[in-house]
Structure 1
Amino acid sequence: MSASSFITGLLALLLLYPATVGLVQISNGLSGPESGQGFPDNCEGKEYKCARIAPDSHRSNGEMELRFNNTSVDQVLATFDLWVDEQPRTIEETRLIDESSVDIHVVIHTQFLSYADDLYVHIECNGDDAVVWLHSSSRFGVSDLGVNPNRILDIHSSLISVQHAGTPCS
């Protein structure tokens, strides 16, 4: 193998990566959920690239909701915001706040090719308790290689590690 063919091959690889990332970014932009879509109903059609703790739970610990006794939406939201701040390549797309609930859509980009994953969080009051639903799904591919269930469990761990109680939900 001559030096010139080695350099040519190396240059081809160096140009291939940015071109691939560019195509992924275009695909991410074209395939994103519609604005204002709201919290997804289920993981239908995304069986191996979706996980949720919500009604119709999927690929998580089987919980239908996370319930925080005598806790306000703001307390849970502050903990979630800290989790988001710690995540690299994460962009908050929407945050809808009404009288007693919050819906958030966050896009998390993978490390190497920057594929987009969608994370939805719904927090609402149920009596004095705050109730949380989580949904994480990949936009592309056949499988998420366990990323979405791990993300859901990571958020779950983060939320339950903080002592929230003391302010009734309102």
Structure 2
Amino acid sequence: MRDLRKTAYETAVKNNLQMSDAWVSKEIAGKEWAFGFMNRHPRLSLRNPEACSLSKATAFNKHNVNTFFDTLNAAMMRNPSFRDGSRVFNLDETGLTTVQSPKRIIAQKGCKQANSVTSAERGQLVTTCNIICARGHALPLAMVFPRVHFKKHML
């Protein structure tokens, strides 16, 4: 929210717009302006962005995307059974932890202890795989557990 307020101030200065003395002295837009801006634009929300590595961000460019689709097209032309795209699947993996993070709760002021029962040990990472094709066919959810021996109680 602070970046929004700073950008609003800098934009107002650059465009020689009239602004309050508080903006000028603090060199930042007011909190009331920021809340008003967010209320005027209900489609916007304050969110935490996903972390993305530099290599992943720079690898997604026009050349690499074109190379991928050229290679995919060549593979589909070599194999007639893949031409309609119904046998080409996309797999998306997501890591889930077995330890839940507790939700915020309302507690009495001055009370230091606000308990919520959750597992305190270090959680295991379970990989969940979603597999779907362009026609909308989906395979059942696949879960990869980090154990050598599967135990039924893990389900």
Q: Shorter-normalised TM-score: what interval?
A: under 0.3
Instruction: Report 1 or 2 for greater relative contact order, CA contacts < 8 Å, sequence distance ≥ 6.
Output: 1
TM-score normalised over the length of structure 1: 0.22
Task: Identify, as 1 or 2, the structure richer in strand.
Answer: 1
Q: In terms of Rg, which structure is larger?
A: 2
TM-score normalised over the length of structure 2: 0.23
